Amino acid sequence: MKYYVYLFASKRNYLDMGLNGSQSASDEPDTNANKALEINRGKIDILDKKLIEILGERERVVKEIGILKAKNNIPALQLARFQQVVAKNIEEGKKYGLSATLVTEVMNAIHKESLRIEEKVMKGK
């Protein structure tokens, strides 16, 4: 089975890296490590699911905002508001040991999608 991982490399576009998932016998972790990896990967899967659920909820709110902006002739891009959101989330991220770079990249990706959704909603007035 082939998996694709998309990595962001600063100053470059996303890299598409194919991984075949095969390991040689010498690369196999011991049984205890395998169990620990399985447990922690299960935790990651649960957290990833929660992230997706939250992003879905956020998208629904973005659609509502797009409708309000369309009805009131407010542009989708509100740069000052976005700057506030990023700054607030960088500070919040520090509490969890997250780098400003990570928070900024995540918020930029979310904001890009939010603008796409709002503009789509606004065109469909």
pLDDT for 14 equals: 43
pLDDT for 125 equals: 58
**pTM assigned to the model:** 0.72
The enclosing domain of 47 has a CATH number of 1.20.59.10
pLDDT for 15 equals: 45
pLDDT in tens, 38-83: 999 999 999 999 999 999 999 999 999 999 999 999 999 999 999 9
84 pLDDT higher than 80: yes
* CA count, 13 A, side-chain hemisphere, 80: 1
Domain for residue 15, yes or no? no
Report the 10 Å Cβ neighbour count for 66: 23
The count of domains in the chain is: 1
Domain for residue 16, yes or no? no
CB–CB of 2/19 below 8 Å?
yes
pLDDT for 77 equals: 95
Domain for residue 100, yes or no? yes
Residues 6+ apart with CB under 8 A from 59: 113, 114, 117
Q: Which residue has the higher pLDDT, 105 or 122?
A: 105
Average pLDDT of span 103-111: 98
CB–CB of 65/118 below 8 Å?
yes
Domain for residue 37, yes or no? yes
Domain for residue 2, yes or no? no
Domain for residue 50, yes or no? yes
Domain for residue 40, yes or no? yes
**Radius of gyration (C-alpha) of the chain in whole angstroms:** 20
The domain in which residue 35 lies consists of 25-123
Average pLDDT of span 91-98: 98
Q: Tokens 């969890």 appear where? A: 96
pLDDT in tens, 11-42: 444 444 445 555 555 566 689 999 999 999 99
Domain for residue 76, yes or no? yes
pLDDT for 124 equals: 85
Smallest CA-to-CA distance from 6 within 109, 100, 94, 117 is with: 109
